[in-house]
Amino acid sequence: MKLIRYGSAGKEKPGVILPDGRWVDVSAFGEDYDETFFENNSLDDLEKWIQDRGEGLPEVPQETRLGSPIVRPSKIICIGLNYAKHAKESGMEIPEEPVIFFKSTSAIVGPNDDLVIPKNGSKGEREFQLERSGQWVKGKSADTFAPIGPFLATRNEIKDPHNLHLWLKVNGDMMQEGDTSDFIFSVPEIVSYVSQFMSLLPGDIISTGTPPGVGLGMDPPRFLQAGDVVELGIGGLGESRQFVRSYEEASST
């Protein structure tokens, strides 16, 4: 299945994208896509519930805003330097173990929500990450820095997670492009490794890295500016789009 949450920010309802492409409301099922939902294996119950109702589910207009397909999880775990080509462009050695850092869950927004440059930010936001005590989490956790979606795909939707094409454009220019076959550490390896150091809870997000082409590695470096448009996608997992706004502009609306 493809799970979505739709509606205004903070008031999202659960939905599903059906095989025929229609968006339908499943809030009558009585559960949102949170830790309890995944812990209780409610996916199977939801699928049967949808099948029993056939064509009777209310349809959702596809111009409706999408939120994160997961209610705020307990944590967002990120794996740095997990694409061999990205490590090379960064001038970094291939790590012997996965590099772990976190993003704050307050950074989560919908897949097409605005990306806001944080207050006092100037490099989108590498200054916080690299020039102020070298703490990655500060540069990764600003509000809006974790767009999630457009949907959550269940395991049967993706044949091979290690054979997916990724791309990212800024203002129409292709910036990043890669394939998950370039992973240094596979998905099972990452889950196993992270589990050695902390409990993974149902609904937790593990971000498995970024492909080559990051602006920091360019000569000269390129950073996002207010007015930029970022578009990205992963084969089989949909596309998203963010409009970049300044902190001042976002604060005035």
Least confident range from 9-23, 65-79, 175-189, 211-225: namely 211-225
- Name the nearest CA neighbour of 175 among 127, 136, 223, 130: 223
pLDDT score for 93: 82
Give residue 109's identity as a one-letter amino acid code: V
pLDDT band at 126 (very low <50, low <70, confident <90, very high): low
Residues 76-251: name the CATH superfamily: Fumarylacetoacetase-like, C-terminal domain (3.90.850.10)
pLDDT score for 132: 53
Percent of the chain with pLDDT over 70: 94
Torsion 181-150-90-169 (CA) sign: positive
Please state the three-class secondary structure of the chain as a single string.
CEEEEECCCCCCEEEEECCCCCEEECHHHCCCCCHHHHHCCHHHHHHHHHHHHHHHCCECCCCCCECCCCCCCCCEEEEECCEHHHHHHCCCCCCCCCEEEEECHHHEECCCCCEECCCCCCCCCHHHHHHCCCCHHHHHCCCCCEECCCCEECHHHCCCCCCCEEEEEECCEEEEEEEHHHECCCHHHHHHHHHCCCCCCCCCEEECCCCCCCHHHCCCCCCCCCCCEEEEEECCCEEEEEEEECHHHHHCC
- Name the nearest CA neighbour of 129 among 117, 137, 119, 121: 137
What average pLDDT does range 118-142 have in this prediction? 68
For the chain, give every domain's residue range. Answer: 2-56, 76-251
What average pLDDT does range 27-31 have in this prediction? 97
- pLDDT of 134 strictly over 70: no
CB 143 within 8 Å of CB 113:
no
CA distances (Å), origin 240, targets 40, 156, 169, 253: 29, 22, 11, 23
pLDDT score for 135: 64
Give residue 121's identity as a one-letter amino acid code: G
Q: Tens digits of per-residue pLDDT, 213-234?
A: 877 667 788 889 999 999 999 9
Considering the entire predicted model, what is its pTM?
A: 0.90
State the Cα–Cα distance between residues 77 and 194, nearest whole angstrom: 9
pLDDT score for 34: 97
- pLDDT of 253 strictly over 80: no
- Bridge partners for 24 per DSSP: 16, 59
pLDDT band at 247 (very low <50, low <70, confident <90, very high): confident
pLDDT score for 184: 94
Q: Tens digits of per-residue pLDDT, 48-107?
A: 999 998 789 999 999 999 999 999 999 999 998 898 887 777 777 888 999 999 999 999
State the Cα–Cα distance between residues 131 and 225, nearest whole angstrom: 19
Q: How far is CA 61 from the centre of its chain?
A: 23
